[in-house]
Structure 1
Amino acid sequence: MSTLEEIMNMDQSMPYDKSARGRVVFASSPETYTNANGETKQSKSVAIADDKKAVKVVSYDPTQFNKLIEGKTIMLRNFIRRDGYIILTRTSRLFPTQEIEVPDSRVQEGKALVNPPAAPMVSLREALRSPPKTKTTVCRKVIQDEEERDILVGKSKSPTKMKTIYIQDETVDRVKVALWRNTNKNVRTGDFVKITYLTIHTYQTKYTTETSFNSTYTTSVTKVEPPTVHVTLTVISACAQDDVTELLLSDDSVRAIPSQLLMAALPQELEEVLDPESFFAERKTNLRLQLKGSEVLSVKLQ
């Protein structure tokens, strides 16, 4: 029989056909999810612990749920160790056994694995500057989504589901996010999403070093209302197009603004004698915009 610590210190993820013992120190309610075939399934997450280690365990077999009860001590066989937690499948076996004592520190450790404290919500720029393995939460717009595909992972080259999306906020134009395995992937371009417990992934391409985000086993993805944010733009020119005025910015990008909001932001004494094109052609100007998603709520001259 192996200890939980020995199992989690293995060099690679793999099926495990020996026994491991632990006490269930925390159990969540079953969760419903949709698999890659569109089928509705259930999973249950618990934490088991011995005197030296607490481990998160996820069961995808509802027939096992009645054995994964808080306070019960069980022996596990034929399970899979992956990415810092244990997976139970239909071939896994759970054997009730004599109760073991677990220190309170391990109980708290286990609770934090299944129900972790909230990762801080930060801007994309701040998140990308986080140290490796730091978990962060972002609430941003999806600007591109790709189809889910199988990626060969680990030495065993086992196919693993992954979907790539790209998100942006007012601090970063484009960042890649890899959503792995059973993370909710029902998001599309244009959605605003809150993504929790992301970690930084840095990798080398042929020409440069790229930084992106990876989902973790605690990541959740939920659609949200677009946040209201404020941004400052430096305008160097304008092109009026009926109800919309396109502003040429100092970074050589273009931002479209409703002409009515823009005119209301100009000095009142100039409204009758200067149109936006003439006003911005004569001076470099800072504008403060209030945005909700792509909608411009207000414009102020700075």
Structure 2
Amino acid sequence: MESTDKIIKVNFTEVDIFVLLGFSDQSNIKSLLFCIFLIIYTSILIGNGLIILIIKFDQALQTPMYFFLGNFSFLEICYTSVTLPRMLKDFWNKNRDISLLSCAIQLCFFLILGVTECLLLTVMAYDRYVAICKPLYYPLIMNHKTCVQLVVGAWISGIPIQIGQVYQLFSLTFCDSNKLDHVFCDFPPLLKLACGDTTMNEISFYADALLFGVVPFLLILNSYIRIITTILRLPSELGRSKAFSTCSSHLIVVSLFFISASISYFQPKSNQSRGTGKVLSLFYTIVTPLFNPMIYSLRNKDFIISIKKLLY
């Protein structure tokens, strides 16, 4: 009887520290992975930082489109800084422990910035819609005050709900195992370690994903259907080409972010092999911010001119 009680106590010991497994199974190449992710993080900081500086100091880029792009680049720096420095530390050190509080803070910032990214991409799509579909009203609709309000709304709208989500999750008891099989603290892998019935948490999480993920995507899709319809009606081929070029960069970024995120969060657990979630999470948290400067600068004549001015 005594031994049974001991087993029960061991099995249901509350967890107060998690161990982020990350890529621990690739320990033989951890130095290589550290160098790769350090180069990626440095490239994200430099690339997006350059976009912010160019937009700030080039008078030709003081338009709503570039105002939103500057904010988006700043967001990308913040978004990757929530996860990448910690990953680099884990590659460098053998100790992969993270306290419940640190894990909760990381998850909270990750969710808030993820929601901001969805909303800011929606705002940028709306800006392109107004510019192409209602060009005569564009200066009136997208005035400076409206642009600031849209950006502030994108940054703060998700804060209360995401804090509530994280509080609700960490109000649960974590037991049996403290090994978090992920590269950072994310909702689904944490939920796997929780004791008891987590049905309400899952419903809450997917409702949140629907509100801040699916709805913005549908709004972006609606904007681009209207944009493409308007572009196809343009009589000039040159006009159609110019209109498409102003939207294509944003459309590429939207596709990269939403497709990888939706596969990661909405793929059935039975179809998801071990490690797939980690790779997909890296895709939308690292690859999109990495390619963002290249996508916007190399496909944008105004940016190329501004970069040439800066260099020469």
Based on CA coordinates, which of the two structures has the bigger radius of gyration?
1
Shorter-chain TM-score bucket reads: under 0.3
Q: Which has the higher helix share?
A: 2
Q: Which has the higher strand share?
A: 1
TM-score by length of 2: 0.20
